[in-house]
Amino acid sequence: MPNCPFCLSTKVLETLAVKEMYGGTRAVFHFAVCSDCGSAYITDSPENISKYYEGYYSFQDNGLTLEKRWWKKAIVSIYSRLVVRGGLSFLFRPFFRCPSPRQMQVLSPNLQAFLAVGAKSNARILDVGSGAGQFVKMMNRFGYACAAGIDPFLDETSERPYVRRSDLQSVTGSYDVILFNHSFEHLPDPEAAVRKCADLLSPGGTVVIHIPNVHSPEFTKYKQDWWGLCAPQHFALPSRRGIERLTARCGFKVVDVVYTSRYDHYLYSDDYRRDIPDTDTNSVRRQLENGTFDKKRRSSLSKLAYSFNRTHAGDWIAYYLMLN
């Protein structure tokens, strides 16, 4: 990427040497930070990117967390029957703008970003970069029977009725909601993706781009160790100015923004700075997986995440786009 893929500028504020830490190889890749719009983008992506998706978290077809907690299952069932199928989703949109620390315990960032759309139960939904389709299954549970997913790295032997192996450019049809749940930053050509959305989106439809926020205090603090860069899987991370310039060229406008940070977001970067990859048995990610992470610290960090979200400084952000 010789130019910034978002504002097309050739001016670079700084270049960051970022280590691959998800798989623990510590291979170094370089990210340029655009001096005009503040977006970040990789300058030396690997030729064979597919090998970095082997064992990637989005392809782990685990059971939904609500299936392990009866009260979560009950909440989903009630919301599906009374709100979604009752045609009242639009009334609950404000609730998902900034959930409290307690509400964060039952509301994942992806679910928050999606439910803030207030989609109708019969909405045609496309989840781009769906992995094994965990979130598609979640949407189905909430009453959205027309939700489907695509992923170009999906193992063909693991395809489900609701997800299939495909890239965005091969998709046809019309959709009311197109979701990029942390898949937009994985695209080598974000402009081509947005232009394709213009062809697929139904009148009055919404595109949701849910990504790490390069304007967050965490990026400023950690720079090359910020976990949101996630080299080399992440190709490009737009700033607010960058996404506005890109979408304007493609006939879209940003109509809303929601911040979706959670408590664990403020832990991974610290590990990376101390050269602890996610695969290390002492990493925060492993502590969270095996249930040994301190609950008091979790509560404190949840309050921090809520504070950042409320003041528009969260390190995850969802942009809502509509055609002009």
CA–CA gap between residue 31 and residue 42 (Å, rounded): 4
CA–CA gap between residue 58 and residue 83 (Å, rounded): 28
Domain-embedded: residue 233: yes
- DSSP letters along 208-276, please? EEEEE-TTSHHHHHHGGG-GGG-TTT--EE--HHHHHHHHHHTTEEEEEEEE---GGGGTHHHHHHTT-
Pairing state between β 147-150 and 163-164: parallel
Residue whose token pair is 């996610």: 278
Domain-embedded: residue 6: no
Which bin fits 86, alpha (ψ -120 to 50), beta or left (φ > 0)?
alpha
Secondary structure in 3-state letters for 15-48: EEEEECCCCCCCCEEEEEEECCCCCEEECCCCCC
CB 61 within 8 A of CB 132: yes
Amino acid at position 222, single letter: Y
CB 206 within 8 A of CB 247: no
Output the tens digit of pLDDT for each of the chain's 324 residues.
579 999 999 999 999 999 999 999 999 999 999 999 999 999 999 988 988 887 776 666 666 666 667 788 888 999 999 999 999 999 999 999 999 999 998 899 999 999 999 999 999 999 999 988 999 999 999 999 999 999 998 877 666 788 999 999 999 999 999 999 999 999 999 999 999 999 999 999 999 999 999 999 999 999 999 999 999 999 999 999 999 999 999 999 999 999 999 999 999 999 999 999 999 999 999 998 888 888 899 999 999 999 999 999 999 999 999 999
Domain-embedded: residue 140: yes
Domain-embedded: residue 4: no
Angle between helices 190-200 and 240-249 (to 10 degrees): 50
Residue-range definition of the domain harbouring residue 96: 12-323
CB 181 within 8 A of CB 150: no
Q: At 236, give phi and psi (nearest 5°).
A: -155, 135
DSSP state at residue 160: B
Residues 6 or more apart whose CB falls under 8 angstroms from that of 294 comprise: none
Q: How many domains does the chain have?
A: 1
- The alpha carbons of the chain give a radius of gyration, in whole angstroms, of 19
Domain-embedded: residue 1: no
* CATH code, domain with 92: 3.40.50.150
The model's pTM is 0.94
Q: At 273, give phi and psi (nearest 5°).
A: -65, -30
Domain-embedded: residue 2: no
Domain-embedded: residue 5: no
